[in-house]
Amino acid sequence: MSIEKTRPPHGGHGDQGITVLLRRMHDAVALEASAQQRLDHLTKAIASHVVADVCSIYLRRPDDDLELYSTEGLNREAVHKTRLKWGEGLTGLVAESHRPLVTDDAPHHPAFAYRPETGEEALHSFLGVPLIRSGKTLGVLVVQNKAARKYSDDEVEAAQAVATLLAEISASGELLSREETAVVGEMLHRPERLKGIAIVSGIASGRAVYLRPPAPKHNVFSSDVAGEAARLEEGLNNLRASVDAMIAENASLSGVSREVLETYRLFAYDRSWKDRLRAAVFSGLTAESAVEQVQNENRARMMQARDPYLRERLHDLDDLAHRLLRFLSGEKNGGQRALYQETILVAQQMGPAELLEYDRDVLKGLVLGEVSATSHVAIVARALKIPMVTGLGEAINRCEEGDEVIVDGDAGEIHVRPTSDVIETYRSKRELQSERQAAFASEKDLPSVTKDGVNVTIMMNAGLAFDMPHLKETGAQGVGLFRTELQFLVGSQLPSVSSQEMLYREVLDLADGLPVIFRTADIGGDKTASYMDHGKELNPAMGWRGLRMAVDRPGLIRPQLRALLAAAANRTLYIMFPMVTLAEEIDDARALLDREIERAERQNKALPNDIKIGAMIETPAAAWRVGQIAEKVDFLSVGGNDLAQFYFAADRDCERVQRRFDPMNPGFLSFLRDCAVKAAKTEAPLSYCGEQASDPVMAAALLGLGITNFSMPATAVGPFRRMTRSLNAGHISQWFDEILPQPRESIREEFTAFLRVNSVVVE
């Protein structure tokens, strides 16, 4: 087999170049003939271009059988007669695994299945490549040789490029009959059940809308080569202009950040990339298909590279290809998407500010590919009670705009194009959920006391004024964490003192005397607004954020402190500073607060009756020296999400590393217990406001560690209260004395079993 990769036109193409093959495929599809004749011509075109004894195309049928549709080299009488079950034989294995299969001794492969009617008994070498579209295998391209030989990586890569086009052709209606194309379309739009990771509980249904939509559908082959070449040229010019504009808008960047952007521009202006695109267009492909073809070749080549830097450049190349496809479709920018009355937003990843831009009356659920349970977008989604499932990158390919989608935030799965039975099942499940929430509401006035008499304070998290009615609904004893940064992220400029004061006063009024702990704006990391000249950081989670930014930029925090003092006039004001690392940072923050107090006194403005200062313990350094920090504040609060992130050195926004580490790790639990013991020796009470308290097993563990003050999402208050009343904290503490010293990766399963044996409610 000899298929050369595409080369730039100025370098020339031999008769064996893939450009020639694409042109022959185009000619075969354009023939005035029956669907079967066109397919046979296509198979022959591929076979004549390949130094192989056999080339065959198998297509998937509605019953998931793989039917031999065309062959060059096998017995032609076997066409439409030979069928393989899904997963049967080497061809079935390729379809089932969605991956290429290469062997130089096919008859002795464990999966080999012999079909005497095909006459392939003398064939030894086998290369099978799946025809994949929208994440589904539509068939298999098979190349075989009598001689035993290993197909090279270049040959496999080239076969994959051909298979990609075959899949597009099968679905486009350019090759098969109308009936056969309809069958393919039916397979592509079958109901799908995808398993991911539950992030925000609840059931939601609606129609899919992409945050960044995939490229529009298009034909594979063109009838006007010159016209397609002109479209490609225009698209490239628009792409390059947009990259130049992006760099001009970020002229303040320097160093590594500037180099990254300049490298991105080099790719956009790369002559060989343009030449390969033009070569694909002149072979008969549309401009869009040319971009996808070259993109697939680049991806295959870069994924084989050992150099991690080269592999990282794949993201730049993919992004450029995606941008070019958008320009070819006529779109000049992404823009906010139009929503349905009931919308499920689908995205690979997104930030909290993006989420807040959408109309919450119609946004019912979220399906994200690459975010963790403790990412800020997850925290905001929880606050808004938007069911969310992540770990579903394949959903981007499995559903289309407008498809009906059900998000099950409890089971961590989604249903794309669900059947009527599934819809009815979830309708019943939603009703049962309402009954469950009603049961929790009926218990909201019950005391939060463990079986062994430990009083537990349960407060809730909030970040918006409309969160406040949940206080009364859940029976929470106050707001243990009010995230003030949301107001900073949603606007086009820094919020004014008056607008901040108005929000804080409204929140305090709605709290009706219950305590509200305002955390000063925790900005930085992944939480920046467009108007902030934050700069680029290689590791923003450990960079200029939280209290660090506040003391460096008094113009940011002083207006906020001024607004808080005014809003809490004649009341008790609770202020908590985020991302405290050293005790000395509290001195800097207090100095800024004192200046605002002095300013208010000079202007004869009313002040709070009392001011309580708190610090968030979010770094191992702060946890280790929690006693020193406690001497300078009135209360402490463990930010479990960030503390776990830094303890495990695992980015909270990266689902791939987050799933490797469980907070139920004995080392982390021992670390938390040590922090709680140190805090207990001071007069500063310690609370826990991490999202981990939403996990009933982790929450029970925290009670056993001696932590008795909590703040959590409103949806978790009811289940937490019920769990608290069903356990004996002393028994858990004794069990931990025995189990925590033992080396384990996680004690989740053992602890869950312990809780169930002791009748602790962990629903």
Query: For 544-601, how does the pLDDT look when each residue is reduced to its tens digit (9 = 90+)?
Result: 666 777 777 787 889 999 999 999 999 999 999 988 988 889 999 999 999 999 999 9
In sequence order, what E strands does 437-550 have? Answer: 457-462, 479-483, 516-519
Output the six-digit token pair for 203. Answer: 């059931």
How much is the mean pLDDT over the chain? 81
Q: Give the pLDDT band of residue 213 (cuts 50, 70, 90).
A: low
CA distances (Å), origin 241, targets 245, 323, 333, 645: 6, 12, 13, 40
pLDDT tens digits, one per residue of 706-746: 999 999 988 889 999 999 999 999 999 999 999 999 888 89
Q: Give the pLDDT band of residue 13 (cuts 50, 70, 90).
A: very low
Q: Give the pLDDT band of residue 762 (cuts 50, 70, 90).
A: confident
More confident residue, 25 or 174: 25
Beta pairing class for 388-390 and 479-483: unpaired
More confident residue, 59 or 245: 59
Cα distance between residue 43 and residue 100, in whole Å: 19
Which residues are known to be catalytic? 376, 689
Closest CA to 562 of 479, 518, 498: 498
Cα distance between residue 380 and residue 352, in whole Å: 6
Q: Residues 663-675, buried b or exposed e (16+ Cβ, 10 A)? A: bbbbebbebbbeb
Does the predicted model carry a pTM greater than 0.75? no
- The mean pLDDT value for 497-507 works out to 92
Cα distance between residue 481 and residue 475, in whole Å: 16
Closest CA to 171 of 156, 157, 187, 195: 187
Q: What is the per-residue pLDDT for 565? A: 97
| Most confident stretch, 53-62, 239-248, 416-425 | 53-62
Cα distance between residue 200 and residue 691, in whole Å: 11
* Other Cβ atoms within 10 Å of 245 Cβ, number: 10
Q: Per-residue pLDDT for 252 more than 70? A: no
**Full DSSP string of 165-207:** HHHHHHHHTSSS-HHHHHHHHHHHTS-EEEE-EEEE-SEEEEE
Q: Tally the C-alpha atoms within 13 A of residue 233's C-alpha that lie toward its C-beta.
A: 7
CA distances (Å), origin 730, targets 100, 165, 213, 680: 57, 65, 53, 16
- List domains and CATH numbers for the chain: 9-188 (3.30.450.40), 192-212+335-434 (3.50.30.10), 225-328 (1.10.274.10), 443-533+541-757 (3.20.20.60)
Who's near 331: CB < 8 A, 6+ residues apart?
none
pLDDT tens digits, one per residue of 86-142: 889 899 999 888 888 999 888 888 888 888 877 776 788 899 998 887 667 788 999
